[in-house]
Amino acid sequence: MIYRYFLFVLLLIGVAVADGFEIIEFDNKQLENRYQVLLQELRCLVCQNQTLADSGAGLAKDMRVVVYDMINKGHTNDEIIQFMVDRYGNFVRYEPPFTLKTAVLWLMPFIVVLLMILFIPKFVRQQQAVSLNDAQREQAKKLLK
């Protein structure tokens, strides 16, 4: 019984320290929502598979501070993202934009699925059993006994 309580407390402590990030305060809820959304749209350059929201890297923290300042100074979301893209290129966008260069990246899954739909039936048909006439069927039965 005591053991279960102990485990529960341990779990709570774990959850409390899981977010060691800075505490941010905004004047209104709208600004805070914009901040959260932007953090999910920007990539951490150090931990490159994480968004700014998730990354604990020092550079990510610096970038979060920049986003915070820019929101409070009245910049739009587009201006803030462009500010980051000017310095780090399109890679800083967590979702790559759809441009000529990234068209292959975006469309390849659909192309592959399309090709599979077109070509798999052909391969399957080639592998289907050849039908036998009656005489051949009798012979097969004899051989299989």
Three-state secondary structure string covering the chain: CHHHHHHHHHHHHHHHHHCCCCCCCCCCHHHHHHHHHHHHHEECCCCCCCECCCCCCHHHHHHHHHHHHHHHCCCCHHHHHHHHHHHHCHHHECCCCCCCCCHHHHHHHHHHHHHHHHHHHHHHHHHCCCCCCHHHHHHHHHHHC
CB nearer to another protein: pick between 66 and 81? 66
By CB under 8 A, name the one of 69, 72, 89, 137 that touches another protein: 89
Size of the site for another protein (CB under 8 A): 14
* Residue 140 makes contact with another protein by CB under 8 A: no
In the complex, the smallest distance separating the C-beta of residue 109 from another protein, rounded to whole angstroms, is 16
CB nearer to another protein: pick between 87 and 137? 87
Which string of x and - marks every residue 40-79 that binds another protein (by CB under 8 A)?
Answer: -----xx-x---------xx--xx--x-------------
